[in-house]
């Protein structure tokens, strides 16, 4: 299936922002395949035993998006970034629930590197990454957003720059610094 034109999605999102609640239902079919690919990528990184399917993850994230009364989606890139963040929250909550039921079972921690952003299928401790991202957001909120958009949202440098309203060079610098910081933070929990 041919991906929708970003302008078509952005046009519908403009109608949503103007208060047209019927337009919300027209967004999902236009971005569904892209969200499913993103969800599949997330789930491939999860440890074995994951029972959530990409379709269910997309639907759960979409329901969360619909509950958001603000719905200030600026364009397709912004919508996908928010949807990616919603999927991250779903996965982190599920990982925390699994961890709580196991009471701290042996969790494998991995580092965040450039290859993870380009679809490498690697198991990752989402809870550890989420905790590190929360700490990074306290230090530098923009770098944390860059990681969310690049790692969780799967956005390119240019798309992340557009979503944040900054230059691609700023995104590249922030991405490099944030990766190094996260690598150090995530390695603290490994022997």
Query: pLDDT tens, 145-171?
Result: 899 888 877 788 998 898 888 999 999
How high is the mean pLDDT of the chain?
78
DSSP the chain: -PPPPHHHHHHHHHHHHTT-GGGHHHHHHHHHHHHHHHHHHHHHHSPTT----HHHHHHHHHHHHHH-S-----SHHHHHHHHHHHHHHHHHHHHHHHHHHHTS---------HHHHTT------HHHHHHHHHHHHHH-HHHHHHHIIIIIS---HHHHHHHHTS-HHHHHHHHHHHHHHHHHHHHTT--
Q: Which two tokens stand for residue 58?
A: 């997309």
Residue spans of the domains in the chain: they are 6-187
| Helix 168-187, helix 126-139: angle, nearest 10 | 120
Q: Note if the pTM is more than 0.75.
A: no
Q: 36-50, pLDDT tens digit by residue?
A: 888 887 777 766 666
């Amino acid at each position: 299936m041919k991906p929708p034109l970003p302008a078509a999605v952005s046009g519908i999102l403009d109608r949503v922002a103007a208060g047209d609640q019927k337009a919300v239902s027209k967004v999902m079919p236009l971005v569904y395949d892209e969200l499913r690919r993103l969800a599949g990528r997330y789930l491939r990184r999860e440890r074995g035993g994951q029972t959530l399917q990409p379709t269910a993850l997309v639907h759960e994230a979409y329901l969360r998006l619909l509950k958001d009364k603000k719905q200030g989606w600026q364009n397709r890139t912004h919508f996908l970034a928010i949807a990616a963040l919603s999927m991250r929250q779903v996965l982190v909550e599920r990982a925390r629930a699994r961890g709580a039921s196991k009471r701290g079972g042996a969790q494998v921690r991995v580092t965040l590197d450039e290859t993870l952003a380009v679809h490498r299928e690697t198991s990752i401790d989402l809870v550890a990454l989420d905790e590190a991202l929360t700490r990074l957001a306290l230090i530098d909120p923009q770098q944390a957003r860059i990681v969310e958009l690049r790692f969780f949202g799967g956005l390119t440098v240019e798309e992340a720059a557009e979503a944040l309203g900054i230059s691609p060079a700023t995104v590249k610098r922030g991405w490099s610094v944030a990766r190094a910081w996260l690598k150090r933070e995530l390695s603290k929990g490994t022997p």
